[in-house]
Amino acid sequence: MAGDRHTRTVAWLKVALPLIAIGLLSTLSLLSRAVDPTAAVPFADNEVRERLLNRQVTGPYFSGTTSDGDQIDFVAKTVTTPDGLTGANHAEDVFVKIDMASGSQITVKSDTGRFDLAGDQSELLGNVVVTTSTGYVIRSQEVVARISQLDLISPDPVEASGPAGDLSAGSMHIFAAQPDAPAQLLFTSGVKLVYDPKQVKD
């Protein structure tokens, strides 16, 4: 009797255990299908495609030295390479700091920027603010600059405040005549200065 019961139990387990195993595997398969692997990615398909195509970098920081020994630090919200073009970069919310070998400092902020490394040229566009350690704050809508050395030009009209007062001009140029020399700030094209002797005295 006991032998028959043992035989029936073994026979039943031979059938039941494989069925249980199949049931568990089916459940795991169903659960795996219920999880959407793309749901964890916080980007839409077109955004992912755009990031891959444009090679977008978020929060980039670059630092380097010009041929004249000036230290340049670059920070932006994002930098992209449109259409994968080598050397053509577009940046948002740009901040550039230039610590010159002569000891003076210049900072530049702008809404956007375009950088052509191969052409040694950059364009800072939209609400450009140039601040110098000598006390000048210059506002423009566009500044064109070389990347390899200090050479900033505003082809658009500028508004500025400085030690002598407030002024406006048709264009502005910041450059160093030679390595280790102090930066020179030149306003041209219809310069108008509102002289403030109090500012000069201070």
Domains of the chain: 55-201 (2.60.450.10)
C-beta separation of 167 from 138 below 8 A: no
Predicted confidence (pLDDT) per residue in 159-189, tens digit:
999 988 899 999 999 998 777 777 889 999 9
CA distances from 29 to 9, 19, 24, 33, 187 (A): 30, 15, 9, 6, 73
Question: pLDDT digit string (tens) for 142-161?
Answer: 999 988 888 999 999 999 99
Whole-model pTM: value is 0.69
Vertex 159: Cα angle to 158 and 165 (nearest 5): 135
Q: What's phi and psi for 126, nearest 5 deg?
A: 85, 110
Instruction: Give pLDDT, residue 160.
Output: 95
Which string of DSSP letters, residue by residue, matches 130-143?
Answer: EEETTS-EEEEEEE
Q: Which residues of the chain, if any, have pLDDT below 50?
A: 13, 19, 22, 24-41, 43, 48, 52
Q: Which residues contact 194 (CB under 8 A, 6 or more apart)?
A: 165, 166, 167
